[in-house]
Amino acid sequence: MDNGNSLGRGIVMILVAGFSLGMAHNWVGLASRPPRGIPWKASSASLPQLESEAPPDRVPRAPQPQPVAADPVSPPPKPTPERSPTPHATATPASPATKSPQATPTKPVTEPATPPSQATEPASTPAAPPVAGSAARLPYVPDMDRPLETKIATVKRFFDAGGALFLDARDASEYEAGHIPGALRLTQSDALSEPEKLKTLPVAGRPIIAYCEGGECEASRELAQALLDSGFRKVLVYTGGFPEWAAAGYPVERGHGGK
């Protein structure tokens, strides 16, 4: 009987010692640089960022007028000399035999000046086409098989230009308390259980920006992955989430909104 108890205590001691050694070894590994141990807290893999993955902004530019080079062969046109006014009548000198009253010289007749109202105006130059506005200055979102993270500055640019579809991945109560104006509420479970609902999303060729509470909230990532699995290829995750948006003083919509 005592032998059985001793054997049991020995096994327990061995397990405790092994566990302690394993914890100490992992702690030393995490403290090394680079860390080699297993993190104590599970963390999701970081996503690539749109700001580093995408090429520079594609901005359609208005055509610029090109300077016209002078023709080196053709000489410049010579100025046309002005014509002197031709008198309509010439005074005839008096005959030496016959004296006649002195002839009054005739004043040259000049053509009347053109009235100001009939003056020829130079042809108006057509206005240059306007330079593309802020709606065109949006980052290019490549087709990806995984979501891309994006920051608040880029999100605000898409919002101002109406260049993205915003999806709120939070609970209904959080959504109604406040969300980005125009955002639709859609969770991962909705995307998986109601695939037909995804076909009605008003994407219209725009990228999708999913967000939730930011920080450690994984709802937006899960929704983004579900969208990619359903065939969407331009899906972004706003890592700051709604709290960061509201704290920045940007517009907030309450109630059902665009749901």
Active-site positions read 212
Q: What are the CA-CA distances from residue 112 to residues 53, 84, 116, 118, 164 (Å)?
A: 74, 15, 12, 12, 68
Question: Contact, 184 vs 210, CB < 8 A?
Answer: no
What is the secondary structure of 9-60 as a DSSP string? Answer: HHHHHHHHHHHHHHHHHHHHHHHSSS--S--SS--PPPPPBHHHHSPSP---
- Which two tokens mark 164? 């993205």
Integer Cα distance of 179 and 245 in angstroms: 9
Q: Give the sheet arrangement for strand 184-185, strand by strand.
A: 148-150, 235-238, 208-211, 165-168, 184-185
Integer Cα distance of 80 and 78 in angstroms: 6
